[in-house]
Amino acid sequence: MEKIKDYTVIKTIQENGENANVYLVEKEGKKFVAKHFTKSVKPYVQYGKKNHFGRRREGADEVFKEIKSVSEKHSFIIQFYEKFKWDKKWCIIIDYFEGNTMNEFLFLFKDDKIKILTIIEKFALEVKLWHKNQFALGDAHLDNILVNSLTEEIRLIDYSQMHHPDFKYCKKFNCFNPQNRRIDEDLENTTKHFGRGFITELRKAQTSLKIEIDLAQIFQNKYQNCL
């Protein structure tokens, strides 16, 4: 079986020559995700004058360390474990969460109004938990949400654009000035960069899948009214 360092590769999750190949791996009976970057990693790129853009940011040393540190303190953040060179490119190891993307989930259960209602409300609570702790995902679209349809657990994934007021490059680029800028962008993003925002994406999914309940309104109601 193929190995990455001392991790056994189970399968390829995503093959993406532009940024990284993503694998499900195993070590000592535990599953992890290995993200093996195909190009150089940088904390930001020079063209990003108003944001720390860069699709491989979490592979950069200072960014990886920041995310690893907060993942050890907050259970809602997928844990980051280690970073190393493999086959001359950087690789990071993070926790594995089993589930479908939110888009996949909505397609599979589009006729089950009760299940969709439950999951959208739990999704809103998860996003609110991030925002109450001053974290913003930064690339807010439904393929960056994983849903375990059996346990009904939800995780926000792909931290390449993650924001927090204490992060070095969030300070450099004034991400939280005004205070809720990145958090607001997670909900509805009017810029042309990255995800359009979870509310916008839910409206789009509802229309394309012809779901009869108002996904965006359910999300907003739960998000706004939870403590």
- The pLDDT assigned to 227 comes to 64
* CA distance from start to end of the chain: 48
The tally of domains found in the chain comes to 2
- Residue 215 φ then ψ, to 5°: -60, -45
- The pLDDT assigned to 5 comes to 95
Locate tokens 């109601």: which residue?
221
User: Are residues 87 and 135 both part of a single domain?
Assistant: no
Question: Which positions ≥6 away from 56 have C-beta within 8 Å?
Answer: 19, 20, 37, 39, 40, 41, 42, 160
Q: Percent helix, strand, coil in the chain (nearest 5)? A: 35, 20, 40
User: Are residues 128 and 145 both part of a single domain?
Assistant: yes
pLDDT profile of the chain (227 residues), mean per 10: 92 86 96 95 82 88 97 98 96 97 97 97 98 96 96 96 96 92 94 87 97 97 89
- The pLDDT assigned to 47 comes to 72
The CATH number assigned to the domain holding 69 equals 3.30.200.20
Q: Which of 95, 117, 134 represents a domain boundary (last residue)?
A: 95
Q: Output the CA angle 33-139-187, nearest 5 degrees.
A: 130
User: Are residues 19 and 121 both part of a single domain?
Assistant: no
Amino acid at 18: E
Do residues 33 and 93 touch, judged by C-beta distance below 8 A?
A: yes
- Tokens representing 135 are 């974290």
27/10 Cα distance (integer angstroms): 10
User: Are residues 81 and 120 both part of a single domain?
Assistant: no
Q: Which of 57, 80, 95 represents a domain boundary (last residue)?
A: 95
User: Are residues 163 and 216 both part of a single domain?
Assistant: yes
Domain range spanning residue 38? 3-95
- Residue 59 φ then ψ, to 5°: -85, -15
User: What's the whole-model pTM score?
Assistant: 0.94
218/205 Cα distance (integer angstroms): 14
48/118 Cα distance (integer angstroms): 38
- Helices 198-209 & 113-132, crossing angle to 10 degrees? 170
Q: Which of 95, 111, 128 represents a domain boundary (last residue)?
A: 95
User: Are residues 130 and 221 both part of a single domain?
Assistant: yes
